[in-house]
Amino acid sequence: MTSASPQPPPVDGALLRDVAGSYASGVTVVTGLDGDGPVGMTVQAFHSLSLSPPMILLCAGRHSRTWARLMRSEHLCVNVLSAEQQDLAWRFGKPGPDKFREVRWQPDPVTGTPVLDGVLAWLAVRITTVVDGGDHHVILARVVGLEARPGTPLVFFKGDMHALAS
């Protein structure tokens, strides 16, 4: 005779947010070109995935209008923000009509996607797979260009930005 395993109790969303926020991460701004010009959004859910082939992953909200525009870009650029770029993280982290206004950037030499001035590192990528992840998409992408620069990272922890303590 088999007995049904007990249902786990429902997970409280605020607690999950708090617990997940205990995992400190860097902050990126993912940019692209959708035909109307440069477009970008702050993404904390970024991780390296594979060295061979070179791949990364990102998570983007299913209902994000910016993500819908980024999907139209042939390539994306993951801009890893430096400790001095907190203002950019907030600017690109909320809806807004013209997030690029007065933001300086250069086209990356491989794909032409926007590399924001002053970033700690950047990766130009081509999306290979989009997987359903609940209320987010999980995006797998192949790295086609990249650069790391001297500096220190912006850190996101418990809902706020920090610089690394030395």
Ligand X SMILES: Cc1cc2nc3c(=O)[nH]c(=O)nc-3n(C[C@H](O)[C@H](O)[C@H](O)COP(=O)(O)O)c2cc1C
Residues that bind ligand X (CB under 6 A): 27, 41-45, 59-61, 64-66, 89-90, 92-95, 156
CB of 64 to ligand X, least distance (A): 3
CB of 11 to ligand X, least distance (A): 19
Our CB check for ligand X shows the closer of 126 and 136 to be 136
Across the chain, which distance is largest between two alpha carbons, in Å?
69
Residue nearest ligand X, Cβ-based: 93
Pick from 135, 116, 133: nearest CA to 124:
116
Q: DSSP secondary structure string, 101-146? A: TT--EEE-TTT-PEEETT-SEEEEEEEEEEEEETTEEEEEEEEEEE
Our CB check for ligand X shows the closer of 48 and 109 to be 48
Our CB check for ligand X shows the closer of 27 and 141 to be 27
Specify the 3-state DSSP secondary structure of 71: coil
CB of 131 to ligand X, least distance (A): 14
